[in-house]
Structure 1
């Protein structure tokens, strides 16, 4: 039996943002049972560094449901954007704010999509520092890690709207707007030591402005998802 797939969304996302990707993974040739973590835009907006416990709790609950309903012993986990960092923390053995998640025991693979593993974002600094200090890179050798990055938009202070948005995002979060990335996260920031690092030319960050070319688009999923 194929393992169920669990998708953890990104910052200020809605579960509905991932239904299209879920349909792709549930269809041939993959035919997976897919669960999207029910964590709303409002729930994301309420998070304050370093308390990302509510997101971790929601992910843990979804994994439990996936295992119970399918009878599988492990899941394949996908984390988009900030959800990739949440997913990495979920794997950890050490308690986070008093809760031990130990997701590595029930996760066969973790794929991160446009996740800034290297970041200077002030609103996640404490959480990111905790994660990097205790579980850097592909921390668990029995979990298959893949880090996917897009290379599609160079930030420009004065360019088209997409280039200017990219410039601002790269500059505010990573200190330099003149970088190349997926339009929100620079390509280089998505690198995860010890993982299978994959760069997708033309891939963009999110479905709201690039429904046909973002990581979860029908024609993009086959470039990174391994059945």
Structure 2
């Protein structure tokens, strides 16, 4: 019996954007729930603040899925920032929460597979660097050996200082420090992969479910990574 699967939305994204992906996973036999975030749930986090409120919603969703399906583990799919937020959720070290006691989830025993889709696992941008430094200093690479890490990157747009690829150039530079490189239009390949993970590259996929054309959750791209779910 396939494990229940949880989708963690990307930064400033709502659960509704992942309806098609959830439906495709259901069709593939995986009972799927998206963490029920709304776009406004992200607003208090702007400026690099603690992501603990998002992880609390993730934890609640995981507990619901485990109880509903009488399961002991889940698959976790994190899109964009949802990927590194999921890595915090797995961890056993207290995560500093602004104005509150540190939070601790230690959820890695509950997660069989973590799939990250276009996740920027590194950042030069000062608002996100604090959170990502916490993740990478405490849980570098595919840290937990009991969790299978699948990191999916897109090779779609080459960043250049010219019309049509300027946004990609700027985003790549903020993320990995190099603008002239390949990525999905937002996240460069170099930042989307982790040492020790099963690292995949899909050509032609764009970063967001709201992007025109194919993204990581489209049927054509899903075929490349759904096989890794348990």
What TM bracket, shorter-length normalisation? over 0.9
For the 8 Å contact 2:109–2:146, the answer to whether it is kept is no
1:162-177 → structure 2 map (5 Å cutoff): 163-177=165-179
Q: What residue number does 1:21 align with?
A: 21
Superposed CA deviations along residues 7-61 of structure 1, whole A, max 9, x for unmatched, are 001111111111110011001xx21110101122111122042411011111111
Match of 1:43 among 11, 17, 41: 41
Give the distance between the partners of 2:90 and 2:174, measured in 1 at CA: 29
* Match in the other structure for 1:214: 215
Within 5 Å, which residues of 2 pair with 1:58-207? 58-97=57-96, 98-160=102-164, 163-207=165-209
Do the aligned partners of 1:121 and 1:172 also contact (CA within 8 Å) in 2?
Answer: yes
The Cα offsets for residues 162-202 of structure 1, whole Å up to 9 and x where unpaired, read as x2221232233333322210000111111201110111111
Contact 2:122 2:175 in 1 (8 A): no
5+ long unaligned stretches in structure 1: none
Contact 1:155/1:170 (8 A) holds in 2: yes
8 Å Cα contact 1:149/1:190 also seen in 2: yes
Give, in angstroms, the shift of residue 62 of structure 1: 0.7
State the secondary structure of the residue aligned to 1:56. Answer: helix
Q: Deviations over 1:90-148 (max 9, x none)?
A: 00011213222011021111010001112212111111111111111111101111111
Query: Please, which runs of 5 or more residues in structure 2 have no aligned partner?
Result: 97-101
Aligned to 2:8: 8
User: Which residue pairs with 1:32 in the alignment?
Assistant: 30
Counterpart Cα distance in 1 of 2:139 and 2:12: 25
In the alignment, the residues of structure 2 paired with residue 52 and residue 81 of structure 1 have an alpha-carbon distance, to the nearest angstrom, of: 14
